[in-house]
A and B are shown apart, each in its own frame.
Chain A
C-alpha cells in the first residue's frame, strides 16, 4: 500500500513538472512535430490493418449469430457500427497502442536516463520532463482521436469487404444497418475516451521510462511495467468514462 501511494505521489510530481508552460514554444513545436511523426503517423499502418480485420470478423460473427428469420439482416451493419464505435476503435486500439507506443516511449526515455542524457539536460537548467514528455502527451491527446475515426471508417470498410467476398448479407442490408439509428454522440464519446486513453498511455509510459534504473535490465523492466500498468489503467478509465457519459 505504501509503495503504491509512493508511486502515485511520484507520478503526480512528475506530471506537475511536465504540465507547465514550455520554456520556448519554438522548441516545443519542433519536438511536437517529431513526436507526431514517431508516435502517430507510424501507428497508422498497424491500426489500419487491425481495424480491417476486426471489422470483417465482427460482420461475420454477427451475421452467423443472427439465425432468427424475424431479425432483419440490416442489424448486422448496425451491430458492426455500434461495436466498432463504442468499444473496438477506442479501447482495443488503445490497448494495442499501449504496447507499440508505450514501449517505444518508455524504452527511449529509459535509455536516455541510464546514459545520463536526462541528467545532462537537467544540468543545463532545462526542465527535461517538460521538454521530453509534454510534446508526446500533446500530440497523442490531439491526434489519436483522429486515428480512432480512421480506425472506425477502415473497420466499416473491412466489414464491407468481407461481405463482398463471402456474401453473408447483401451490401444494401449492410449500408441500411450502418445508417440505422445513428447517434453522433457516440463518436464524441469515443473521441473523449481515446483522448483520455492517450494521456494514460503517454504519461504512464513516460513515468516508467523517466525513472528507469539499473541499466539495460531496468529499461526492459520499465518497458514491461509501462505496458501492463497502461493497459490496466485504460480499462479502469474506460469503465469510469462509460459510466459518466453513457449512464
Chain B
C-alpha cells in the first residue's frame, strides 16, 4: 500500500500540490485524473521520488519513502516499475537490452535466465519477434508495450503509469488499459495511473482521484464518477460532445 499524507509542492512561489492525502491499495488500478496543468504529473513524480515534496509524507508500506536519500530509496525503487508518457525506452539499446536493463543491474541471473524472463515479459504484452529491434523501429503502441514489459521485468510491487495512452489510437489505448489491468490483478500490484483520458477511467478506474488546481477535490471510482454532483468534476468528465450526449441519454 502507498499512503500519501498532506503533500505540498512548490515551484518558486507557485504551489502546484496542495495538501494531497490519499491511499493506494494493491490489486487495484488507481487513477489520478485532471486537466492539463492540474498537477497530475507532479504528483506522480513526487510519489516515485523524482521530485521531493516540500512537506508531507509518502509511505510505501511501513517505510517513510519521502525521507530517504537516493541510496535509501534504492531498495524501494527496485520494487517499482514505471511506464513513462513517451515510453522512455533507451535509444542505444534493443528491445531485449531495454527489458534486460534492470536485470543486469539488480540480479545475478545467467544470460539464459534473463533471456527467458525477457521473452516471458514480451509474451505477456503480446509482442513477438521484436527482441533485436531498436525503439525507433517500433510503433507507438509497441513502444508502450515494451515499456510495460520493462516495468514488470523484476516483478514489481508498485506500477506507475504516466499517461499510458498518450498518442495512441482508441483501439490500442484499450489494449494498453486492459494489459495494465490484467497485470495489476494477476500480480496484486499497487498501480497508479496518471491520465486525462475518460475512456481509460471507464475501462479500468477501480479508484479515481480528481485533481483540480493542485488539490484532490474528489475521490470515487468508475461507477460513481458519472453520477457525481461535483460541479468541476462534471465539467471535466462531460467536456466532450459525446459525453454530453451520453449524459442526456442517461437523464
Question: Given contacts A116-B84, A119-B84, A119-B88, is CB(A124)–CB(B77) below 8 Å?
Answer: yes
Digit string of B57-100 for contact with A (CB within 8 Å is 1, else 0)? 00000000000001001110110101011101111000000000
Question: Given contacts A116-B85, A117-B88, is CB(A123)–CB(B105) below 8 Å?
Answer: no
Within 8 A of A (CB), among B86-134: 86, 88-91, 101-102, 104-106
- How far does the alpha carbon of A112 sit from the alpha carbon of B217 in the complex, in Å? 35
- How far does the alpha carbon of A127 sit from the alpha carbon of B69 in the complex, in Å? 12
CB-based contact A120/B82 at 8 Å = yes
A23 interface residue per 8 A CB criterion: yes
B171 neighbours in A (Cβ, 8 Å): none
B250 interface residue per 8 A CB criterion: no
A183 interface residue per 8 A CB criterion: no
B50 interface residue per 8 A CB criterion: yes
Q: Which of B85, B86, B90, B106 contacts A125 (CB 8 A)?
A: B106
A24 interface residue per 8 A CB criterion: yes
CB-based contact A27/B84 at 8 Å = no
| 19 A-B pairs in the complex with CB atoms less than 8 angstroms apart | A24-B104, A27-B105, A111-B91, A115-B86, A115-B88, A116-B84, A117-B88, A117-B91, A119-B50, A120-B88, A122-B50, A122-B77, A123-B48, A123-B82, A124-B102, A124-B106, A125-B74, A125-B105, A126-B102
- How far does the alpha carbon of A24 sit from the alpha carbon of B74 in the complex, in Å? 15
CB-based contact B88/A127 at 8 Å = no
- How far does the alpha carbon of A144 sit from the alpha carbon of B182 in the complex, in Å? 52
- How far does the alpha carbon of A116 sit from the alpha carbon of B77 in the complex, in Å? 16
Within 8 A of B (CB), among A100-147: 111-112, 115-117, 119-120, 122-127
B105 neighbours in A (Cβ, 8 Å): 23-24, 27, 124-126
A119 neighbours in B (Cβ, 8 Å): 50, 84, 88
Residue of A nearest to B45 (CB): A119
B80 neighbours in A (Cβ, 8 Å): 123
CB-based contact A117/B50 at 8 Å = no
A115 neighbours in B (Cβ, 8 Å): 86, 88, 91
Q: Which of A27, A116, A122 contacts B86 (CB 8 A)?
A: A116
- How far does the alpha carbon of A127 sit from the alpha carbon of B71 in the complex, in Å? 9
**Residue of B84, B86, B88, B90 most packed against chain A (CB within 10 A):** B88
